[in-house]
Amino acid sequence: MKQIALYGKGGIGKSTTAANLSAALAGEELDILQIGCDPKHDSTRMLMHGTWIPTVLDLIRERGDEKITVDDVVYRGFRGVRCVEAGGPEPGIGCAGRGIIATFQLLERLDALKGDVIVYDVLGDVVCGGFAMPMREGYAQEVYLVTSGELMSIYAANNIAKAIARLSRRVRSRCTLGGVICNAKNIEGERDLVEEFARRINSRLIAYVPRDRGVQIAELHRQTVVEYAPGSDQAAVYEELGRTIYGNRTTSIPTPLDMDELESFALEFVQV
Residue of 2, 31, 40, 212 marked active site: 40
pLDDT at 272: 47
pLDDT for 126: 59
Residue 14: active-site member: yes
pLDDT grade, residue 269 (50/70/90)? confident
Q: What is the 3 state secondary structure string of 187-245?
A: CCCHHHHHHHHHHHCCCCEEEEECCCHHHHHHHHCCCCHHHHCCCCHHHHHHHHHHHHH
- What integer is the mean pLDDT of 72-101? 86
Calpha distance 10→127 (Å, rounded): 12
pLDDT the model gives residue 171: 58
Residue 2 annotated as catalytic: no
Mean pLDDT of 234-257: 96
162 is catalytic: no
Reported pTM? 0.93
Q: Taking residues 51-80, what's their average pLDDT? A: 93
Closest CA to 120 of 84, 149, 77: 84
Angle subtended by helix axes 190-200 and 259-269, to nearest 10: 150
Catalytic residue (choose from 65, 72, 116, 125): 125
Q: Is 72 a catalytic residue?
A: no
| CA 90/CA 96 separation, integer angstroms | 9
* Residues 173-226 pLDDT 10s: 678 999 999 999 999 889 999 999 999 999 999 999 999 999 999 999 999 999
